[in-house]
Structure formats: structure tokens, C-alpha cells
Amino acid sequence: MNYLYEYSDILNTPYEAFEFDTLKNDFPVRPHFHHYVEFIYMLEGSMFSTAEEKEYYLKEGDLLLIFPDTVHSMAASSVKGARFMGMKFDASRLTVNTTSIPRLGTMLTAARKQSARVLFEADEHLFPGVYEFVLQCEKELRERKLGYEVSVHARLCLFMTDLIRLWEKEGIGFGNVSEYVTKEEISLQNLLEYMDRHIEEGLRVEDLAKRCGMSYSHFARSFKSMYGRTCKEHLELIRVEKAEEMLKFTDYTLNEIALELGYADQSHFARVFKNLKGITPGSVRGR
């Protein structure tokens, strides 16, 4: 079974940058998540990206931000292909020696909880230097010259400060943001990996709450607050994303997929799938 979690060695490689050509690299990019923040900056062509169950159309010059632990994927919009720059980074590393503002990573968490927008289109001209920003970061990380991490860190801090200021202008509040992410949130992040790897075992919310050392009610509130959906909804999302992958890339029957992912029967699986995706499993298989 393909797991959704994409391993990231955040401790040793807190920053990553890459160029992706949809005609040369493996494409489409299957649904996955990781603990990094990710930027997608379109260089040429266009494509679709899905994140937080929303679909975005990306064209040349557009910038998409993907929050940590967000299931996301990418697919073609035409046969012509597309090129984009990708950049991933550990938001907790973006610290500065000052007490005048909360940590940038914490403000990212606050922005996510307030549904801050994540797509910035080229014709808005909000980040005129974004191409040079991603290009220079990629060069620094590729060449790894003396002090390259300091250079990337400084550029990211400046860019994220501009982004946070833009969000504030658009009504996102940062006045009451606590300075540190809670231990509960760290525990919940680790839980996402566990859920991904054990989804076929018929996971129950009650058992997951115990695994985090929380009462059921406290766990449910914390999970909903952090991810904007209930734990049960997230479990269903993982199952449906994995099911879609199996429908596209395996020869398993609908009944075999349903049993593999812990559904009681094929009809139950089909109802849940259509409710979340808007189409039947058979329609995906027939494409």
C-alpha cells in the first residue's frame, strides 16, 4: 500500500528546493503530506493542485503555499506540461532573537487556523521578487557554499514576514498568538503518521485519543482546532485518498479496496467515496 506520509529529515535538512518538469519527472504527484511548509512557484505552463480538499489552478507566475500536514497532490491541466519550482522548509527553524513578535512558525499555525489564503496569482503583483527568491534559495541549497543555510534562513524569514504582513492586511489576526506551539499539537502531528500507516486496521477515535494521552472530548476539540476537521473526517479522507490511488494504479476490485481500507462492505465504501469526491469509485476506475 502507498503511504500518504512523505518522510522528511527535518533535523538534518530543514530546507529543500527543487525544480520539477511534469514532462520529465514522475507525474501526476500523488496525494501525500509532510511536516514541511511548501511553496510551489509556477515557471511555465499550468497545472492543478489539490490541498485541504480544495482544487487550485496554477499558471505561470502563480505561487501556492501548502501548510504542514496538509494532504496535497498535483495533476496536469493539459498535455503541454508545466515546470515549477518547489521549496520546503521547517517553519520551527525560522526563529529570530527577539521577543517583540511571536515565532514565525507559530504565526503560520495561527494563519492556518483562520483560513488564510494560500494562492497568490501573478497578476496581483504581491511578491514582485518571488522568482529571484526561490531561484537564489535553490542555488544556495544546490551549491552548499559556506554559510548557505544562513543565506536561505535570512531570505525565508524576510519572505515570510512579507507574507504575514499581507495576511494581516487581509484580516488575519496575530495579536493573541501564543509564543510556542503546544505539546499537544506536536503529539497530534506524530499521530498523523500513525494514522496513515495503520488506516486499514479500523482505527477508532477513542483509541487514538488514548494514544495521545488525552480524554476523548479534549482530543476531539484539539484535533478539530488544529486541522479544521474532526478526527473521524480525517480518517475518512485518508481512506478515500488511498482508495483513489488504488483505483488509478492497481487492479484491485472495488470490494478488495473496500476490505483493504477497513470498510464494512463495498456499498459503504462507495457512499463515503462519492460523498467526499463527488463521483463514484467506478467513475475513477473508468477514466
Question: What phi-psi label fits residue 104: left (phi over 0), alpha (psi between -120 and 50 degrees) or beta?
Answer: alpha
Per-residue pLDDT, 14? 84
User: Is 188 part of a structural domain of the chain?
Assistant: yes
SS3 180: coil
- Residue ranges in the chain assigned as alpha helix (H): 104-113, 130-143, 148-169, 183-197, 205-211, 216-227, 231-249, 254-260, 266-277, 281-286
Per-residue pLDDT, 180? 39
Q: What is the CATH number of the domain that holds 243?
A: 1.10.10.60
Per-residue pLDDT, 9? 66
Q: Write the pLDDT tens digit of every residue in 83-113.
A: 999 999 988 777 665 545 567 777 888 898 8
Per-residue pLDDT, 179? 43
Q: Tell me the residue type at 220.
A: A
Q: What is the CATH number of the domain that holds 83?
A: 2.60.120.10
Per-residue pLDDT, 78? 83
Q: Do 32 and 128 reside in the same domain of the chain? A: yes
Residues 6+ apart with CB under 8 A from 203: 195, 235, 262
Q: Do 105 and 223 reside in the same domain of the chain? A: no
pTM of the model: 0.74
Per-residue pLDDT, 177? 62
Contact 186, 226 (CB under 8 A): no
Counting as low any pLDDT under 50, the low residues of the chain are 99, 179-181
- The whole-angstrom separation of Cα 171 and Cα 43 is 30
Per-residue pLDDT, 214? 87
Q: Tell me the residue type at 90.
A: D
Per-residue pLDDT, 102? 60
- The whole-angstrom separation of Cα 101 and Cα 41 is 28
Instruction: Give the β-pairing of 63-66 and 37-51.
Output: antiparallel
* Domain that residue 154 falls in: 15-169
- The whole-angstrom separation of Cα 46 and Cα 57 is 7
